[in-house]
A = this chain, B = another copy of it.
Amino acid sequence: MFIEKVASPGLAHLSYVIGDGGEATVVDPRRDVDIYLDVARREDVRITRIFETHRNEDYVIGSCDLARRTGAAIHHGGALDFEYGSAVSEGDTFEFGSVLLSVLETPGHTDESISLVLADTSFGEDPVAVFTGDALFVGDVGRTDFFPDRAEEVAGLLYDSIHDKILPLGDDVILYPAHGAGSVCGDAMADREFSTLGYERRHNPALQTNGRHAFIQRKIDEIHYYPPYFRRMEELNLNGAPPLDGLPVPAPVDPDEFAEARDDGMQVVDVRSPEAFAGAFVPGSLALPLDMVPAYGGYFLSYDRPIGLVAEDPAQVETAVRSLIRMDYDNVCCVLRGGMHRWETSGHEFDRIGRVSPAELWEQIDKGEDFTLLDVRKENEFQSRRLEEATFVFLGHLPDKLDDIPRGNPVTTFCGSGRRAIIAASFLKMNGFEDVGDTLGSLAACRKIGCPLVGDDAD
């Protein structure tokens, strides 16, 4: 019996292949399903079932494609009216080899959320592991902000699912959640991907509240963001995503053709590092450092216009394409051949972003220089610790709040480390702001060098 975890970085999405006796079940497959076929081939198992722990909102689930390739059946919870697959209910069981999977209905994150309990029948029917989807994570629990009208109700449902269904399985049960640290589906997940129900019961901060009421209050007080692409994911995952006919093959095009496409409306996405982007970029580009595509692409990218990539190498291109199609951005049409170097040597003008160190930033503030310090972190981060002079606009809201930022003045962007700041800086550049700098190091460096901070957790 094996459990193979398949992680999709960026999304911090975790899917699983559970195999035994020549069969396998996949839990929450991603859209580019080749990896599950590889695992199955290597392990000599046939994928016969696919479970969706819930209707996902942050990525296109790969169930339909995987079913098409393998003939597997698709199952999900019954509280939503899916256009494909079949519904399972509390207590339903599925057996193959020595694996016994039982369904727990664990609503809260969404109504149709289920968990899957794994027993090894060669040792009895006691649970040895549980796949909790977005109900319980290592170090956190799932979001409950998707139904603002039912905020209290669904937070309570999640409390009950965890306390009445999942934790009673036993302290010794291993936890396999659907996300790891960095996911937009939770806030405080541990940077550790192994845990047990007992460990979480005693150490998960979200489970240390004083009773159901406090838990609900805590959930209601959380601030979450809802990227616009979620809506599309929800639809696709309800109706069944259309087949993905191989990964898109973006054509490498010369600078002239690339520039022309951009001028005709192509979205230029630059996945290089913040330093490289700041060094030189194609005017009109959006900076989306490679590993941030999943978390922030959905705030800035349109499904209606083609996407052209700027990258350092073919490996970056492939990663970018995979990240994008997982969000249904199949419209990646081309990549700048030869990268920035070729753009530069072809005589095209390039643009730049200033790089400010926290020490320099502090000096500018100290001297009373006139500029906008734009902090684009999440609201809770901003409340916790910030430079007093900072203006707050959450990065994802920048498209709607450009008017709040004074034009004419220099702008220095700021975040936790300088990475979200480069996205913001590039977006300001795209929108006509001329003098834009990124605070490389941002808050992390400010704390190291002792800049004075204000906020709830400032010393």
Contacts and interface: CB of A to CB of B under 8 A. Distances in A.
Nearest to A275: B279
A454 interface: no
A193 interface: yes
Interface residues of A, number: 92
B2 A193 contact: yes
A193 B272 CA distance: 31
Given A122-B190, A190-B122, A350-B440, A44 B172 contact: no
Interface in A141-195: 170-174, 190-195
A201 to B, nearest CB: 8
Contacts of A124: 203
Interface stretch (A103-111, A230-238, A298-306, A309-317): A309-317
Contacts of A419: 341
Q: Taking each of A20, A170, A253, A277, which has the highest tally of chain B beta carbons within 10 Å of its own beta carbon?
A: A170
A118 to B, nearest CB: 9
A381 interface: no
Interface stretch (A85-93, A261-269, A352-360): A352-360
Contact of A198 (B70, B98, B198, B357): B198
A367 interface: no
A347 B359 CA distance: 9
A418 B251 contact: no
A391 interface: no
Given A341-B274, A345-B417, A317 B171 contact: no
Copies of this chain present: 4
A358 B352 contact: no
A284 interface: no
Nearest to A347: B448
A196 B200 CA distance: 14
A434 interface: no
Interface in A258-306: 272-280
Determine chain A's interface SS by DSSP, over half rule: mixed
Given A3-B194, A22-B254, A251-B70, A345 B172 contact: no
Nearest to A71: B251
Nearest to A246: B69
Contacts of A357: 344, 349-350
A216 B349 CA distance: 44
B174 A249 contact: no
7 contacts: A1-B192, A2-B192, A69-B246, A128-B192, A174-B194, A198-B198, A315-B315
Given A46-B252, A272-B273, 20 more contacts: A1-B192, A22-B252, A41-B249, A44-B337, A123-B203, A126-B199, A126-B202, A172-B199, A173-B199, A245-B245, A274-B279, A275-B280, A277-B279, A278-B280, A341-B419, A345-B444, A347-B358, A347-B448, A349-B357, A349-B359
Interface of A: 1-3, 20, 22, 37, 40-42, 44-46, 69-71, 98, 120, 122-124, 126, 128-129, 139, 170-174, 190-199, 201-203, 243, 245-246, 249, 251-254, 272-280, 312, 314-315, 317-318, 337-341, 344-347, 349-350, 352, 355, 357-359, 417-419, 440-442, 444-449
In the A-B complex, the 9 residue pairs with the smallest Cβ-Cβ separation, listed nearest first, are A172-B198, A347-B448, A275-B279, A279-B279, A276-B276, A345-B444, A344-B441, A1-B192, A172-B196
